Structure 1
């Protein structure tokens, strides 16, 4: 019972003073000596904590002064509380796949100032909130595929100015918010297997001009006039693009958008053509 109370109190902390942080470190147990296996390769410490039954990691700390990769796949981290990783300041790669993760609370990633890669794949996330990734200004690679993400709040990526790779395939996205990529310089974007019918140029495509790879397959594209902006944008870039196959309208079902012309997407009646009433 005492350990459960302690764990709850840790999860409800919203901010720590430097003295409190230092006190926690001295009272925490080094994770390599107590729960996980650790191996150093090429000056990087791999901390393997896969399938260890963790419900929180705040009671442990990473070895000090060691650049580390932390593998927490297959645990029970269903909710990340504030300051969950405050004892892991030297971690550059964090793997949280297959945890049943449902919620990332404000400040969950406080202290991870050097984190470059974050893996959230195969979880139960439904929304990426504006403050989900607060404190991750060094992040370059974000993987959140195979979740249930149906919405991304407009400012969710605004502080991730170094983000290059964004993997969101196999989610439930119907659309992307305006200006979602305004402050990032993406080189790789994976949106396969969502529910996208259209991607507008204004506010979305206009901000990913430096893209090197974009994957858009397996979405129910609605090949009408609204898709002309996407078609025109694709015609101007020379990067790898997966197949974009029309779902609707029926006359274009199964057609690859790259093989269509503007008239196919938005047919216009000839100026001289007149419609006669039925006799």
Structure 2
């Protein structure tokens, strides 16, 4: 192990660790590193843990992972990363834990996590992500923990989590979500998954209540903080918990919709019946009028 924490380092030159080919742990946190040059990690083919957290990096270069083929744990938290390119992590095929939390990441290129088939823990909390697209976590079939708390998420596409076959904890709290689609979570096919979704600006209506009702009716899905979900709107419910929203109102709403539907249906049927009666009357009238001349001719 090499511990270089708090050493005022500002960059890593090529070949910085050439004589340390057997090293397994490298700690570089709490420095001032802005740049990691090409081949800085050359010869570190046996490195298993790398900590570059609490530095000043704005990006990971496309060749960042080239020589880190044995890495199992990577910590890049508390930097200033703004985006992730799909090549920067492509050789980390043995990585099990990735911490990218507390950065400024607003964009992650499709395919960025494609090669991380052994990844079990992914920490992306406290970034600036706004949308989770379909296929975002493609190939992460062994992922167990996914933390997306405290981003700016307002949209999660329906198939965003479809490939997560092992996830046991999915954290979405502290975002900008106001509604969810049931199918988004129904597509998570696991033995047991715990969801955390509090501290979002929920629009509390009967539809949202029904969505959460469906989610919690699925045996393998568990909403850990359902009792802590707070309404942001409508205004009369702001600050109230979703669980306190009167279920009777939703029943009444459903009943009202049913009454309106039945009323419309009855009206339509009545109109059809009246139209049919009028048609028959007109038909009989026309028939009588057409028979009149023949009766006269016979007399």
Instruction: Determine if the TM-score, normalized by the shorter chain, exceeds 0.5.
Output: yes
Instruction: Output one character per residue of 1:55-106: Cα deviation in whole Å (capped at 9) or x when no partner.
Output: 1254322765645211001223212222211111111010001110012122
The unaligned stretches of length 5 or more in structure 1 are 1-26, 275-279
Alignment of 1:237-252 (within 5 A): 237=219, 239=222, 241-242=224-225, 243-252=228-237
Q: Mark the CA change 1:135 to 1:209 in structure 2 (over 3 Å): closer, same or farther.
A: closer
**Cα distance change of structure 1 residues 84 and 65 upon mapping to structure 2, 3 Å threshold:** closer
The corresponding residue for 2:92 is 112
> How high is the TM-score relative to the length of structure 2?
0.71
Distance 1:272 1:264, change over 3 A: closer
Residues 45 and 70, structure 2, Cα contact 8 Å, conserved in 1: yes
Number of matched pairs? 240
Looking at structure 2, the residues matched to 250 and 213 of structure 1 have their Cα atoms a distance apart, in angstroms, of 30
Alignment counterpart, residue 180 of structure 2, candidates 199, 203, 207: 199
Q: 1:30 aligns with which of 9, 17, 39?
A: 17
Superposition deviation, residue 251 in structure 1: 3.4
Specify the alignment match of 2:28 in structure 1.
Answer: 49
Equivalent positions of 1:59-208 (< 5 A) are: 59-61=39-41, 64=44, 66=46, 68-185=48-165, 186-207=167-188
Q: Is the 8 A contact 2:85 2:109 kept in 1?
A: no
SS of 2:154 mapped into structure 1: coil
Q: Larger % of helix: which?
A: 2
Secondary structure at 2:184 match in 1: coil
1:107–1:135 Cα change, 3 Å: same
1:126–1:151 CA contact under 8 A, matched in 2: no
Give the distance between the partners of 1:211 and 1:62, measured in 2 at CA: 41
> Would you say the 8 A contact 1:110–1:135 is kept in 2?
yes
Partner residue of 1:224 out of 205, 209, 217: 205
RMSD of the TM alignment (CA)?
2.9
Aligned to 1:16: none
User: Which structure has more RCO (C-alpha within 8 Å, separation ≥ 6)?
Assistant: 1
User: Which SS does the other structure have where 1:100 is aligned?
Assistant: coil
User: In structure 2, the residue corresponding to 1:60 is in which secondary structure?
Assistant: coil
